[in-house]
């Protein structure tokens, strides 16, 4: 099923225009990682982990919007994406409470600190790349670097190392039983390997 069809199956055939607008956002030329491929990967994992969620369709809606606004030179992308979700979802038949929940889930992706089952599923789907095989992980790191091409290497390297250390200090990177079992060990190995390589180059 193509992405437009997945959107209309979720939000209704009369919202096709909204789905097409979202896809256009994920196809913006400045994106290298936060792309249509990332959106599809997140949606696939939400489908796979839906038994872990209380409202899988609200998680799917949040997945569609979670990176809908993405400008690497700003730090309010999640808030702007949530506001976009609130605005666009008023044009659907979705009840207001569920639209608000979807927007709240989008905001949660700024910290990836979920407070309920739906948030845990979205977080795990969004961060699953950390537990990918080595080649896919390396491609992710390179794509993120390309998105931040405007940042000088020494500053990017320092910032990235800090992020890696913060992630490794967390008691758990993943929150659902399925996510922990599938991704946790590999993700920590990937993060440690990247941090070690960065320290070696700096060294």
Q: When comparing pLDDT for 137 and 1, which is higher?
A: 137
User: What pLDDT is recorded for position 127?
Assistant: 98
Domain that residue 22 falls in: 3-202
Q: Select from 76, 65, 49, 52 the least CA-distant residue to 100.
A: 65
Least confident of 61-65, 71-75, 152-156, 198-202: 198-202
What's 28's domain CATH number? 1.10.3210.10
Decide if 68 contacts 82 (C-beta within 8 A).
no
Share the mean pLDDT of the chain: 96
User: What pLDDT is recorded for position 203?
Assistant: 64
Decide if 124 contacts 174 (C-beta within 8 A).
yes
State what percent of residues in the chain have pLDDT above 70: 99
User: What pLDDT is recorded for position 201?
Assistant: 85
Name residues whose C-beta falls within 8 Å of residue 22's C-beta, 6 or more positions apart in sequence.
7, 64, 65, 68, 88
DSSP category for residue 53:
-
| Total number of residues shown for the chain | 203
Least confident of 81-85, 88-92, 110-114, 157-161: 88-92
Decide if 57 contacts 7 (C-beta within 8 A).
no
The total number of structural domains in the chain stands at 1
């Amino acid at each position: 099923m193509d992405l437009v069809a997945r959107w209309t199956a979720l939000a209704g055939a009369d919202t096709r225009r909204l789905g097409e607008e979202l896809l256009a956002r994920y196809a913006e030329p400045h994106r290298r990682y936060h792309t249509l491929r990332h959106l599809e990967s997140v949606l696939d994992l939400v489908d796979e982990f839906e038994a872990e969620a209380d409202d899988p369709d609200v998680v799917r809606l949040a997945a569609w919007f979670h990176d809908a606004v993405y400008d690497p030179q700003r730090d309010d992308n999640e808030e702007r994406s949530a506001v976009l979700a609130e605005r666009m979802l008023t044009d659907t038949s979705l009840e207001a409470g569920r639209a608000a929940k979807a927007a709240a889930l989008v905001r949660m992706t700024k910290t990836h600190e979920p407070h309920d089952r739906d948030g845990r599923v979205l977080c795990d789907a969004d961060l699953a790349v950390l537990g990918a095989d080595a080649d896919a992980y390396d491609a992710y790191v390179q794509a993120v670097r390309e998105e931040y091409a405007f940042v000088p290497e020494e500053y990017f390297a320092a910032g990235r190392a800090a992020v890696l250390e913060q992630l490794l200090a967390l008691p758990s990177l993943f929150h659902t039983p399925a996510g922990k079992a599938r991704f946790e060990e590999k993700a920590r190995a990937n993060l440690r390997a990247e941090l070690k390589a960065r320290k070696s180059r700096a060294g």
